[in-house]
Amino acid sequence: MEKTSEKNTAAFTHLSTLSQYIIPFGNYIFPVIIWTNYKDKSEFADHHGKQALNFQLSILLYSLILALIAIPIFITVVLQNIPIEAFMYNENLVIRNFNFEGHIGTLSVGITAVILFGLLKFVEFFLVIYASIKASNGELYKYPITIPFIK
pLDDT tens-place string over residues 88-112: 555 565 555 666 677 778 888 889 9
CA atoms within 13 A on the CB side of 133: 6
141 and 49 Cβ atoms separated by less than 8 Å: no
Give me the helix-helix angle, 43-81 and 104-136, nearest 10°: 160
50 burial (CB, 10 Å; 0-12 / 13-18 / 19+) is buried
User: At residue 87, does pLDDT exceed 80?
Assistant: no
Lowest mean pLDDT of 12-16, 85-89, 120-124, 135-139, name the range.
85-89
Task: State how far the Cα of 54 lies from the Cα of 150, in Å rounded to an integer.
Answer: 6
In the chain the first and final C-alpha atoms are separated, in Å, by: 23
112 burial (CB, 10 Å; 0-12 / 13-18 / 19+) is middle
Could you read off the pLDDT of 35-80 as tens digits, one per residue? 999 999 999 999 999 999 999 999 999 999 999 999 998 888 877 7
6 and 45 Cβ atoms separated by less than 8 Å: yes
Domain ranges of the chain: 4-136
Cα angle 147, 150, 151; round to 5:
100
CB atoms within 10 A of CB 22: 7
2 and 43 Cβ atoms separated by less than 8 Å: no
Q: Which amino acid is at 14?
A: H
